[in-house]
Structures are given as structure tokens and as C-alpha cells.
Amino acid sequence: MAAEDVSEGDGWTQSFDDEERIIEAAESGDAQQVRELVQAAGVPFGQIIWSVVQFTEQYFALKFLLEVCGTAGVNWCSDAGWTPLAYAVTSCRHEGVRHLRTVELLLSRGANPNQRVVNMTYNDTPLQLIHGPGWVPLFPARTRRLVSHLLLRYGAEISPAATDPYLCKVAAAGGFRAYERAHRARFVVPLARVVFPRLPVDMVSHVVAFSFHTGYY
């Protein structure tokens, strides 16, 4: 099944009658009302997270919801195996880089980058999904690279079967941290010698990491 053919039966949509009221309460900053509505919803909190993630414009509502109610359901799965993170990652094909903040929010709150989507169609991590044959044509190359970089920063594992050149370089270096360190070192040495001769090398290293997005390319 092609990615664009994913249907409600695959867990791509989730009906939740109270989602709009919860989002409105979160947008208004009403913590007490958010707690009451979540408690009254009678569904797993993870399902609420999943549902709010579908509203791709509701980053701040999602952030407030996680701050007020905690992150216990951040790795919840729909009946068809989709997690909030997997949905957010694949939604980047439509929403582009502005949806990356939702992906990073979920990762920073404990979403597991290696939790698989398991159903009749997939048995893949989010990183494998966006590099799979059904998804690659749907993602702009830059968006796919940005999402990949973000997932790798938070510990996503690279499949031995990966063929993407960037993923292959990271894997060959021994993982993302090793790749990022080696990448940074290539900038630090000449900059420390020529541009910032009076700065300590470790400070130059921080400048490089901030300015050159090491590990991204």
C-alpha cells in the first residue's frame, strides 16, 4: 500500500469528540479546565495527544497540554499502531519545516524515536518510514534531511538496510554523535588557528556547533 493510500482503518485518523474543547482550553492557558476536560474525556491521555497532533497548527496547545497533564501518554499507539511521533514525522511531508517543532516537542518530552509503527502495512520506525519507498517521493529532500537529523539527534537507530547517502555516512562514522563530533572537528581546527586564535578550542567548538549545524550534512 502506498503512503498516500493510508486510510482511517490504518489509524491515520482518530475520532475524538472533545478534542476541540481541549485545544481551546489549552490555547487560552486554562490549566484547570484542561485537566477537567482530559479527565472527563474517558479515553487514554495518549489518544488525546495523538488527536491534538493531528491539528498541525496547534503546537502551543500541545505544549501546554503536555506541561499541564504530563507526558505519560506520549508513546501511546492507536489501534493500528501509529504513535503521535510517527504521525507528526510523516505529516512533515505536507507541513514542511514548520512542523518540525512538533516533532522536537514530542522527542524532548520522551517520545521514543525507535518505537515502530506495526500493522498490516508497516513494521517501521519513524526514520525508516520516511526513507521507505512509499514515502520518499512525498517528502522534499530538505525536509526529509531535517527530520532525519532531528530523529538521529534524539537517538534514532539507522537500519542496516538503509541506502540514503546521509544515513550511510552517519552509520559509517559509528552513529550520530561520532559523526557530529568528526564533522565539528573539521571546522574547529582551521577556525581555531586562523579566525579565533585567542579563544579556547572548546569555545570555538561551541561556536561551530551553533553556527554550522554540524551533523546535518
Its domain, for residue 183, covers 177-212
Residue in this structure with the C-alpha cell 500493522, named with its chain if needed: 119
pLDDT digits (tens, 9 = 90+) for 97-144: 778 999 999 999 999 999 999 999 999 999 999 999 888 888 888 899
Q: Looking at the domain assignment, is residue 167 inside a domain?
A: no
Q: Are residues 112 and 181 in the same domain?
A: no
Domain count, the chain: 2
Q: Are residues 43 and 126 in the same domain?
A: yes
Q: Are residues 89 and 149 in the same domain?
A: yes
The confidence band for 42, taking pLDDT boundaries of 50, 70 and 90, is confident
Q: Are residues 9 and 67 in the same domain?
A: yes
Alpha carbon distances (Å) from 190 to 177, 178, 206? 21, 20, 14
Contacts of 170 (CB under 8 A, 6+ apart): 152, 158, 176, 179, 215
Q: Looking at the domain assignment, is residue 65 inside a domain?
A: yes
Angstrom distance (rounded) from CA 74 to CA 133: 27
Q: Looking at the domain assignment, is residue 73 inside a domain?
A: yes
Q: Are residues 32 and 134 in the same domain?
A: yes
pLDDT digits (tens, 9 = 90+) for 176-211: 888 877 776 665 555 545 455 554 545 544 444 545
**Quick one: cell of 18?**
472533545
Q: Looking at the domain assignment, is residue 80 inside a domain?
A: yes
